Amino acid sequence: MLSFAASHAKEKSAADKIFDTVIAANKAIAQYGRDKVVNAAPGTYLNDNGQIGFLPTVEKIYRNLPASEIVSYASIAGVPEYLEAVTESVFRQFKPEAYTKTIATVGGTGALHNIVNNYSEVGDTVLTTDWCWGPYRSVCEDLQRNFATFPMFAANGLFNLADLSTKINEILAGQDRVVLILNTPAHNPTGYSLTEDEWDAVLAMLKDCTAGGLKKVILVIDIAYIDYAGEASRQFLQKLSALPDHVLAVLAFSMSKGYTLYGQRAGAMIGVSRFQEVMREFDNINQYSCRATWSNVNRAAMRALATIFKDAALVEQVDRERQQYVQKISERAGIFTAEAQAVGLRMYPYKAGFFLTIPCANPEQACRSLTNDLIFAVALSKGVRLSVCAIPTVQIHGLAGKVAAAIEK
Ligand code: PLP
């Protein structure tokens, strides 16, 4: 084959199982009708009529922006009022006593790109959980990093601190620093959230493995779903006040889910450190990467968040509107979980968020079998992901039984 690709780019492909499954589901909907097809694949909130949710207050503010706020460039770091709004939106009353710095990025994905690019060397290994969002791997491999995982759940079904500790020490034996990505609360794809105790244990372990100052950890907390996990899920953020000296925390913020502006591509990276100089460096190196990669971020999306956070009543209104989505998702997950228990279908401990996951030996086969029933779910390497964010409540009834049957086939 004639190829012009550089050696590191050769044979890469943007094939995406999730988008492909959604396309297949939409084709089936066109052929058989919406009520006959279960589209269990999207990563967006759909109401019970199958329409994508657009938080009404966000929509109103967005549509009423003046032309200049839509078409103008923004500064590289992001609209200043947006940066303040992001910080407020994320921390609420749980702001840690530490230095923080916020930089606008192209979605949470942009934050992940900058972190991997700027806090690991080419050839280094980046670590995350075995159950994880697929693009983590793509971001790492695109930047010529190795991608490693540890088993997320221990035999008791809780977070697997022991294997995280073993793996991180193993990696640090061969490199000076490691980027560790944890997606919590409301993890994609299982819906798990680390408990307060688990957070304490993770931070204590990171303190141990960086003691002596020769090794460093960049702890990336992917909070893409935090607004769907309840107010108490933010409590862990205060623990970042006591970060070990050689641990830099970076929160990957996204406007996609929390503010239903998925395609508008706005997010941010928030650095948290006990040292001002670390934040100064964070600001410099990451703004540089923004400039060199996408320049600046969608100004309209940034202005929309800034407008909301200028007015406490608007913040409350958006929170109230989103709460309806949260309740709907929770109702769907509740029905599925109860039915799963009734039919003896094992699933990972779902607490909140857009997805739940059924572990199984042959996910591709299970998903193919579900497709025969016009159910379109995403086959992960060790399980089946179901988007409770998107499946109409009427279609949730009976779904656990069908999944159980498909797994047994
Ligand atoms: N992290 C996780 C776990 C996600 O599922 C997503 C989106 O689906 C993101 C981050 C980032 O999304 P975006 O780049 O749209 O902000």
Distance 332 CA to ligand 1 centre (A): 21
Give the pLDDT of residue 272: 98
Calculated CA dihedral for residues 293, 9, 265, 282, nearest 10 degrees: -40
CATH number at residue 195: 3.40.640.10
Residue 111's CB is within 10 A of a number of other CB atoms, namely 27
Asked if residue 61 belongs to a domain, the reply is: no
275 & 396 share domain: no
Any atom of ligand 1 within 6 Å of the Cβ of 109: yes
Q: Which residue from 222, 251, 354 has its CB within 8 A of the most atoms of ligand 1, so it is best to mutate? A: 222
Residue 2 in any domain: the answer is: no
| Any ligand 1 atom below 6 A from CB of 96 | no
pLDDT confidence of residue 16:
81
Residues 172 and 84 placed together within one structural domain of the fold: yes
Residue 281 domain-assigned (yes or no):
yes
Question: Which secondary structure element, helix H or strand E, spans residue 56, and what is its range?
Answer: helix 56-63
Ligand 1 center to 153 CA (angstroms): 21
- The domain in which residue 256 lies consists of 68-311
Cα R_g (the chain), whole angstroms: 21
In a domain, 3, yes or no: no
Tell whether ligand 1 has an atom less than 6 A from the beta carbon of residue 224.
yes
> Ligand 1 atom 8: the closest Cα is on which residue?
43
pLDDT in tens, 113-149: 999 999 999 999 999 999 999 999 999 999 999 999 9
- Residue 13 pLDDT level (bands cut at 50, 70, 90): confident
Q: What pLDDT is recorded for position 11?
A: 85
* pLDDT tens digit sequence for 58-96: 999 999 999 999 999 999 999 999 999 999 999 999 999
The domain tally of the chain equals: 2
Same structural domain, 173 and 322: no
* 159 strand-pairing partners: 153
Tokens found for residue 247 = 């641990």
Q: Does 166 share its domain with 233?
A: yes
- The residue whose CA is least distant from atom 1 of ligand 1 is 224
Instruction: Provide mean pLDDT across the span 205-211.
Output: 97
Q: Which two tokens stand for residue 276?
A: 């001002």
329 Cα to the center of ligand 1, angstroms: 18
Cα(18) to ligand 1 centroid in Å equals: 13
pLDDT of residue 409: 78
Asked if residue 179 has pLDDT above 90, the reply is: yes
Residue 267 beta carbon below 6 angstroms from any ligand 1 atom = yes
**What whole-number distance in Å separates Cα of residue 158 and Cα of residue 372?**
34
Record the tokens describing residue 396, joined without a space: 């949730």
CATH number at residue 388: 3.90.1150.10
Which one-letter amino acid corresponds to residue 109?
T
- ipTM summary value: 0.99
Q: Are residues 111 and 133 in the same domain?
A: yes
What atom in ligand 1 is closest to the CA of residue 262? 15
Per-residue model confidence (pLDDT) at position 398:
96
Judge contact between 46 and 388, C-beta under 8 A. Answer: no
Instruction: Give the span between the Cα atoms of 392 and 33, in whole angstroms.
Output: 14
Determine contact, residues 244/204, Cβ cutoff 8 Å: no
pLDDT at residue 14 in the model: 78
Using the predicted structure, report yes or no on whether residue 257 has a pLDDT greater than 90: yes
For 234-247, what is each residue's pLDDT tens digit?
999 999 998 999 99
- Closest to 188 measured CA to CA, from 263, 105, 112: 112
* pLDDT tens digits, 314-371: 999 999 999 999 999 999 999 999 999 999 999 998 999 999 999 999 999 999 999 9
